[in-house]
Structure 1
């Protein structure tokens, strides 16, 4: 066992104005605490982040760093609501024409690492849903994007719905239950416009994509693409408000604290 320093490139529409250095506790498993040194530097693609990890070999060091930084990015992606992906110094061209970037400072990075650690230990389902949402933001394949966004909704619904005879009948009823808990009756659900088939229809699309039960043609792909903006808006609102319901207001304005 030894200490390794792993450097990763995070690409996305974020801006780091100056170098940032701090230490934070890494606790991917309960009680297994290691103080990691974090160093963040600006990059044209987003930012470079290096972290120290204590493990057996280089291969495991990379995997641990990827997991550790990835959980922080799950929180940061929710806060910025923008695609963030990580690689081992792999160049990727950011989509042209996007000159608007979220400015991330030291306090926000520290906050995201802390919240990620707390959720990993205490609300792992919620953190897993954030991870699916981040994947939905950065993946370019429309089917993968739809699956990731719908999985984000489903993970929360499956983990936090009320336990009753109706919700035991399946994920559709679990999502209904959670939406009603947050927003009341369907007519009041933002973005959905009172469509009582919305959950059923989108879950059916999810199942067809996941199980390969579709004929892939241009019309079907365009149909899925047309649904993505609303699914993303609903997923983002649902995840952020359910997080707040659990006492984790991840969107808190750090400047107002």
Structure 2
């Protein structure tokens, strides 16, 4: 099977070493972050719309459930934890760059897919596929936001001289 990628980046030895350094640190210090990165990777590699949706939404749920300040509201479930995480990392809801009630609608779509309530018609798949780019971008942004809040990326860089 041939995969179609938007770009073909040529990796250097230093890129591989940097990635392994990050993975080793995340494995011991931030295993949930590493798990979220794994789901993001799965979404990037999948050609199945529902797998992509589920993979990217898993990133958001994992990050949201682990990287939020507990409040009375966050005791009410993962959706509220995601909201709190986004507030803490992206600021006021008007600064998120997301449609109104986006978290609610994505959470509802996830529930429909997981519990079998989602149609598998071509039209339903097409509608879900339209949600993927923003979901992918948002999951990428939240991963990077957490990494940047917790680490200095320069500490992971490897230079070949």
What is the TM-score of this pair, normalised by structure 2? 0.90
Work out the CA distance in 2 between the residues paired with 1:212 and 1:248. 42
Q: Structure 2: how far apart are the matches of 1:242 and 1:99?
A: 25
Go from structure 1 to structure 2 and tell me whether the alpha carbon gap of 1:209 and 1:173 turns closer, same or farther (over 3 Å shift): same
**Per-residue displacement from partner, 1:98-119 (whole Å, max 9, x unpaired)?**
6841121111111111211111
Confirm or deny: 8 A CA contact 1:125 1:159 kept in the other structure.
yes
Say yes or no: does 1:139 pair with 2:46.
yes
Higher relative contact order (CA 8 A, sep 6+): 2
More helix by share: 2
Residue equivalent to 1:242: 146
Structure possessing the higher radius of gyration over alpha carbons: 1
1:215 to 116, 119, 136: 119
Give 3-state SS (helix, strand or coil) of 1:180's partner.
helix
- Alignment equivalent of 1:187, drawn from 76, 88, 94: 94
Counterpart of 2:3 (choices 64, 83, 94) is 94
Q: Which runs of 5+ in 2 are unaligned?
A: none
**Match of 1:169?**
76
Any runs of at least 4 consecutive aligned residues in structure 1 with deviations exceeding 3 A, and if so which? 252-255
- The separation in 2 between residues aligned to 1:115 and 1:136, in whole angstroms, is 20
1:27 matched residue in structure 2: none
Shift in CA distance, 124/248, structure 1 to aligned 2, threshold 3 Å: farther
Give me the TM-score of the superposition, normalised by structure 1. Answer: 0.58
- Size of the aligned set, in residue pairs, is 158
Q: Which has the higher strand share?
A: 1
Q: Which runs of 5+ in 1 are unaligned?
A: 1-91
d(CA) in 1 for partners of 2:34 and 2:53? 19
Deviations 1:73-115 (A, max 9, x none): xxxxxxxxxxxxxxxxxxx4233xx684112111111111121
